[in-house]
């Protein structure tokens, strides 16, 4: 399934976001420094923000088309979104968080049911816990599980490991790889960590000041720059 | 306590409860609109809602009297349509206390809604929840303590309302006499000791309501 972003434009405080790209990878990294417009781009795809111009098509289905006045609301897009802080609902148990997007488990598609998702993410034992008692890594895995259980056609991950310390990031990367391999849901992965890009992604879009400044597979892209291996600026 | 004191106390509690319940739906809806949406005329509505806090209560009472009287714009219509008389009846007391306590409810509820992280509502939407389900399952439970605190504060304000009530409902024993109206009346007659008895009840009730309001606000902040 491909994500087509054509002629997207949205003026922001310090620059204008302008993106034209077709993303067809299993996991596409949206890479760039803080404030490059990465989160805004995800919000536009998720239907949480409307662009000033342009079109967003996922798997051939137009979700946003400013010219045609098409705007499918976020709740009908089936586009999952995991923000940096996880944004778990603090008043609900882990289980009720997980089932929020899919209350009727009988209707869950094969493979995306509660038992399987919690097994892959190793969170089954947390189901009865209160959100406030979870560690940072547990929270992120629950947030990921909750998004998966809503059976999205596309999953947007906004720096899911950014708030965690290095050893925890190392431990969580394999879970993300398992999600990629197990569920075959295309993912857009916002990050500013080259390690995460190398470990998970097969395509990279480098965003700077709201524009795509580079594009390509991670190996080619990171190897192409001289000097510090991960320096992508310039 | 005498039968009359009981009657005044229960009447005051009943009127305060009724006026708080009456303003709850509109107050909560308006607080949500002020906290979460940008719309034309928002600042005008914000100012109008705050007005009863700052203009003299008797002035608010006079406006209500003119509006709700038999020849008033609203009062005339209510009497023709439903046969309801407002001025100098218990209904007048409810309307006066409701108008006077409305700003306190709206302001507290608005802060409660603003305290809910919008990211949670956005994520709920991406999980397939429409605006109403998001409001009922995410926004409302997370703002609940602040909303209850606001309602308690409005209730406390309604318990002690005097200025607007005396204009709209007057002092009619057994019909419109609340604690505060009765205290004033007894002092006018020189019955200070009886007035002090009602004062003690009034202070106790108000203390309880404000304490509960603070309790819910503290728990929310914790």
Residue A223: the pLDDT is 67
The minimum CA-CA distance between B108 and chain A, rounded to whole Å, is 21
Task: Tell me how far apart the alpha carbons of residues B80 and B70 are, in angstroms, rounded to a whole number.
Answer: 9
CA dist B19 and B160 (Å) reads 13
Please write the tens of the pLDDT for every residue from B1-35.
Answer: 788 999 999 999 999 999 999 999 999 999 999 99
Residue A91 has its nearest CB partner, among B122, B130, B141, at B141
Q: Answer with the residue of higher pLDDT: A163 or B213.
A: B213
Give the span between the Cα atoms of B97 and A15, in whole angstroms. Answer: 51
Q: What is the pLDDT of residue A162?
A: 85
Residues A47 and A40: beta-carbon distance below 8 Å: no
* CATH number assigned to the domain covering B3-221: 1.10.3720.10
Which two three-digit tokens encode residue A197?
């890009």
Are B126 and A146 a contacting pair at CB < 8 A? Answer: no
What kind and span of H or E run contains B180?
helix B179-188
Q: What is the residue extent of each domain of chain A? A: 3-224
Chain-chain contact of A83 with B119 (C-beta, under 8 angstroms): yes
Dihedral class, residue A118 (left if φ above 0, else alpha if ψ from -120 to 50, else beta): alpha
Residue of B nearest to A80 (CA): B126
B166: pLDDT strictly greater than 90: yes
Interface predicted TM-score of the whole assembly (ipTM), two decimals: 0.90
Give the C-alpha separation, B161 to B179, whole Å: 9
Query: What's the whole-number mean pLDDT along residues A55-73?
Result: 95
Model pLDDT, residue A227? 37
Report the residue of A99, A100, A187 to disrupt the B interface, i.e. the one with the largest count of B CBs within 10 Å. A100
Which residues of chain A have a CB within 8 Å of the CB of B130? 73, 75
> Is the Cβ–Cβ distance between B142 and A91 less than 8 Å?
yes
Give the model's pLDDT for residue A106.
66
The answer to whether B92 and B68 are in contact (CB under 8 A) is yes
pLDDT band with cut points at 50, 70 and 90 for residue A219: confident
Alpha-carbon Rg of chain B, whole angstroms? 19
The minimum CA-CA distance between B128 and chain A, rounded to whole Å, is 4
Query: Is the predicted pLDDT of residue A233 greater than 70, yes or no?
Result: no
Give the right CATH number for A3-224 from 3.40.50.300, 1.10.1370.30, 1.20.120.160, 3.30.230.10: 3.40.50.300
| Residues ≥6 apart with Cβ < 8 Å to B194 | B186
**pLDDT at residue A228, as a whole number:** 41
- Percent of chain A with pLDDT strictly greater than 90: 62
What CA–CA distances, in Å, run from A223 to A107, A227, B75? 46, 10, 80
pLDDT at B45 over 60: yes
The domain spans of chain B are: 3-221
Query: For residue A234, what pLDDT is reported?
Result: 38
Q: What confidence score (pLDDT) does residue A105 get?
A: 67
pLDDT in tens, B50-78: 999 999 999 999 999 999 998 899 999 99
Q: How confident is the model at residue A53 (pLDDT cuts 50, 70, 90)?
A: very high
Strand ranges across the sheet with A3-11: A70-71, A61-65, A53-58, A3-11, A16-23, A211-216, A203-208, A27-31, A187-191, A154-158, A79-82
Exposure on the CB side of residue A226, measured as CA atoms within 13 A: 0
Query: Average per-residue pLDDT in chain A?
Result: 89
Which residues on B lie below 8 Å from A150 (Cβ)? 126-128
- Each residue's pLDDT tens digit, A99-120: 999 877 666 676 788 988 998 8
């Amino acid at each position: 399934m491909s994500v087509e972003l054509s002629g997207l434009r949205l003026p922001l405080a310090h620059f204008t976001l302008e993106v034209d790209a077709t993303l067809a990878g299993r996991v596409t990294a949206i890479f760039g420094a803080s404030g490059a417009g990465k989160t805004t781009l995800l919000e536009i795809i998720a239907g949480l923000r409307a662009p000033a111009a342009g079109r967003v098509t996922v798997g051939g289905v137009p979700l946003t088309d400013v010219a045609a006045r098409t705007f499918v609301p976020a709740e009908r897009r089936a586009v999952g979104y995991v923000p940096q802080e996880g944004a778990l609902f603090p008043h609900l148990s882990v289980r009720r968080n997980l089932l929020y997007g899919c209350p009727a488990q009988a209707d869950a598609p094969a493979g995306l049911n509660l038992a399987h998702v919690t097994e892959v993410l190793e969170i089954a034992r947390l189901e009865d816990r209160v959100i406030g008692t979870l560690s940072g890594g547990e929270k992120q895995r629950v947030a990921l599980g909750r998004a998966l259980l809503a059976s999205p056609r596309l999953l947007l991950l906004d720096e899911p490991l950014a708030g965690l310390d290095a050893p925890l990031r190392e431990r969580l990367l394999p879970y993300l790889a398992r999600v990629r391999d197990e569920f075959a849901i295309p993912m857009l992965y916002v990050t500013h960590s080259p390690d995460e890009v190398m470990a998970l992604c097969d395509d990279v879009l480098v965003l700077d000041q709201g524009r795509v400044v580079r594009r390509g597979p991670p190996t080619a892209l990171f190897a192409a720059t001289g000097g510090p291996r991960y320096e992508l600026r310039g | 306590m005498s039968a009359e004191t009981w009657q005044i106390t229960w009447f005051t509690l009943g009127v305060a409860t009724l006026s708080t319940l009456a303003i709850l739906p509109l107050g909560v809806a308006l607080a949500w609109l002020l906290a979460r949406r940008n719309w034309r005329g928002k600042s005008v509505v914000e100012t109008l809602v705050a007005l009863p806090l700052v203009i003299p209560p008797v002035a608010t009472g006079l406006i209500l009297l003119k509006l709700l009287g038999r020849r008033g714009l609203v009062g005339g219509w209510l009497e023709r349509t439903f046969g309801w008389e407002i001025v100098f009846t218990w209904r007048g007391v409810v309307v006066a206390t409701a108008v006077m306590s409305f700003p306190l409810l709206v302001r507290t509820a608005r802060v409660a809604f603003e305290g809910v992280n919008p990211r949670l509502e956005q994520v709920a939407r991406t999980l397939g929840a429409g605006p109403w389900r998001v409001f009922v399952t995410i926004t409302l439970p997370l703002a609940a303590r602040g909303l209850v605190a606001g309602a308690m504060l409005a209730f406390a304000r309604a318990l002690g309302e005097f200025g607007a009530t005396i204009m709209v409902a007057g002092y009619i024993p057994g019909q419109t006499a609340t604690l505060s109206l009765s205290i004033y009346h007894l002092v006018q007659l020189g019955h200070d000791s009886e007035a002090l008895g009602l004062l003690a009840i009034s202070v106790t009730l108000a203390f309880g309501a404000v304490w509960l309001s603070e309790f819910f606000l503290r728990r929310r902040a914790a």
